[in-house]
Amino acid sequence: MYQPKNGWAEQAPEDWWDATMRTTKKVIEDSGVDSKDIKGMGISGQMHGLVMLDENGSVLRRSIIWCDQRTARECEEITERVGAKRLIEITANPALPGFTASKILWVRNHEPEIYAKCRHILLPKDYVRYMLTGEF
């Protein structure tokens, strides 16, 4: 985990992919199962990590993960625009710093060059699925 500033928390999606490949290879080797006999793979993982990809599916920046707290102002912006009551009605949640929407706004407000290049937004587990399948 990277912590560029106090209260910030990021991870490199490439690290998840590397760990997935190393672990999968080790499990196959240790199990003695022929990889040709594997029919599928289940994926589970953390939520609310912002993974931004460009038009070619390349990672644009490290993922801002679930425990990051930098987006307080963006949460206020969401609440002001939507209204606290309406926000609860449509999402069943208030705007919280750990959630993805406020992170997208943070990137738009603080890293506009990254935001402008973004074509795909994924959660961490979905990035691993994309890397496994090549499909969004």
The pLDDT confidence band at residue 80, using thresholds 50, 70 and 90, is very high
CATH number (domain holding residue 58): 3.30.420.40
Q: At what angle do helices 72-82 and 84-91 cross, to 10 degrees?
A: 90
pLDDT 10s digits, 5-26: 999 999 999 999 999 999 999 9
Q: Which residue has the tokens 């999968």?
A: 24
pLDDT digits (tens, 9 = 90+) for 49-64: 999 999 999 999 999 9
DSSP at 71: T
Q: SS3 for 52? A: strand
Residue 46 has pLDDT above 90, yes or no: no
Statement: residue 47 has pLDDT above 90 = no
Residue 41 is assigned to a structural domain of this protein = no
Q: Is residue 132's pLDDT more than 90? A: yes
Q: Which residues constitute the domain of residue 82?
A: 47-136
Contact present, 35 and 28 (Cβ < 8 Å): yes
Structural domain tally of the chain? 1
Residue 73 binned pLDDT confidence (cut-offs 50, 70, 90): very high
Dihedral (CA of 36, 42, 44, 48) sign: positive
Question: Where does the chain show beta strands of DSSP type E?
Answer: 10-11, 51-53, 63-64, 120-122
Q: What does pTM read for this prediction?
A: 0.91
pLDDT of residue 92 exceeding 90? yes
Residue 42 lies in a domain: no
The confidence band for 116, taking pLDDT boundaries of 50, 70 and 90, is very high
